[in-house]
Amino acid sequence: MEKIAFFDTKPYDKVWFDKLNTDFEIKYIESKLTTDTAHAARGCKAVVAFVNDNIGSDVIDVLCEIGVKLIALRCAGYNNVDLKYAKDKINIVRVPVYSPYAIAEHTMALLLGVNRKIPRAFIRTRDFNFSLNGLTGFDLHGKTAGIIGTGQIGRVFIDICRGFGMKIIAYDPCPAEGCDIEYVSLDKLLAESDVISLHCPLTTETRYIINEASIAKMKDGVVILNTSRGQLIDTDALLQALKDKKIRGAGLDVYEEETELFFEDYSSTIIQDDVLSLLVSLPNVIMTSHQAFLTDEALQKIAEVTLFNLKQFFDGEALQNSVVYQK
């Protein structure tokens, strides 16, 4: 049996891989994939990595040196991989789609949570504080949702918003064909949306797409949702706008400096990231720890497709889900 080194393992990852795997000997490793931990893959031709494994040139060098030929990402995004450097050295595959519903539904959960202040209400009632002061929200019905990125997830989120009676406008340089979506310029979207939700990938063009200048173009009292990638938002600019009450609230599943923090328990330590501490402390911000994907259906699909990707590689077939560097 071919051996696979599986990095950044969490108990919820193992459930479906153990259930579905029949072809490989999987070596589960709790650590993230780094230049130091990469050596644990010695003897394996393939490694499985996740979204916060920082796969730069140094890690790729170590993997190549010990004979690894394939990095199978068990996620859709691949901004954490230096694709240019990987070209012609090592194969990269990913899980392009697993459950757009999981992420879109979590986005709506964040919107409802922020708008109707559910976490605060929950804490109050548990303390037998039945006061409603400060918990006023707004009707979503009739409001405008501005969707940045209308791929798999953005389109499911649009359907969900429509179910709430929201008007939809969208911005995407590659508009989806055959969809009944009103596309507008980014500036118009910023100016007209009551809720702005990010569903585009992290690229050089989209990095800090939400920044001081773009925030200045937004309506007062807008709600920002980000379940895509942390670096789409300049967090300092977001914080300032939240303090200024320009932005009414934010629902964030990702954070630009999440790599060293998310997926781990730091509840007994003092977090050194002051920006994160301040953000989390605000009453109108809900942050989750990159968990939008975390449903049974998504985890099952991630395991199925990753095992399929591995099998294709070891069977010498063309890699259906390969990711290649494009200029």
From 106, 155, 199, 229, active-site residue: 229
**For residues 207 and 237, what is the distance between their CA atoms, to the nearest angstrom?**
13
Please report how close the Cβ of residue 282 comes to ligand NAI at its closest, in angstroms.
Answer: 20
Please identify, using beta-carbon distances, which residue of 214 and 228 lies nearer to ligand NAI.
228
**For residues 96 and 319, what is the distance between their CA atoms, to the nearest angstrom?**
13
Number of residues that bind ligand NAI (CB under 6 A): 30
Range in contact with ligand NAI (rule: CB under 6 A) among 56-64, 131-139, 286-294, 301-309: 286-294
169 binds ligand NAI (CB under 6 A): no
Interface with ligand NAI in residues 28-57 (CB under 6 A): none
Please identify, using beta-carbon distances, which residue of 24 and 78 lies nearer to ligand NAI.
78
- Work out which of 172, 194, 234, 256 binds ligand NAI, going by CB under 6 A: 172
Interface with ligand NAI in residues 52-81 (CB under 6 A): 76-77
Residue pair 75/306 in contact (Cβ under 8 Å)? The answer is no
Closest residue to ligand NAI, judged by C-beta, is 151
The DSSP bridge pattern shows strands 222-226 and 167-171 to be: unpaired
Residue pair 198/170 in contact (Cβ under 8 Å)? The answer is no
Please identify, using beta-carbon distances, which residue of 72 and 254 lies nearer to ligand NAI.
254
Angle between helices 296-314 and 11-20 (to 10 degrees): 60
Residue 229 among the catalytic residues: yes
- Residue type, position 108, single letter: M
- Work out which of 58, 112, 138, 201 binds ligand NAI, going by CB under 6 A: 201
Residue 74 among the catalytic residues: no
In the chain, DSSP finds a helix count (H) and a strand count (E) of: 11, 11
Under 8 Å CB-to-CB from 4, ≥6 apart: which residues? 24, 25, 26, 27, 44, 46, 47, 48, 72, 310
- Work out which of 46, 70, 153, 222 binds ligand NAI, going by CB under 6 A: 153
**For residues 279 and 239, what is the distance between their CA atoms, to the nearest angstrom?**
7
Binding pattern for the stretch 219-258 against ligand NAI, x by CB under 6 A and - elsewhere: --------xxx-----------------------xx----
Range in contact with ligand NAI (rule: CB under 6 A) among 7-15, 34-42, 149-157, 304-312: 149-157
SS3 category, 191: helix
Residue 258 among the catalytic residues: yes
Strands of the sheet with 91-93, listed across from one edge: 24-28, 2-6, 46-49, 70-73, 91-93
Chain residues binding ligand NAI by CB under 6 A are 76-77, 100, 103, 148-154, 171-174, 199-203, 205-206, 227-229, 253-254, 290, 292-293
* Residues classed as catalytic: 229, 258, 290
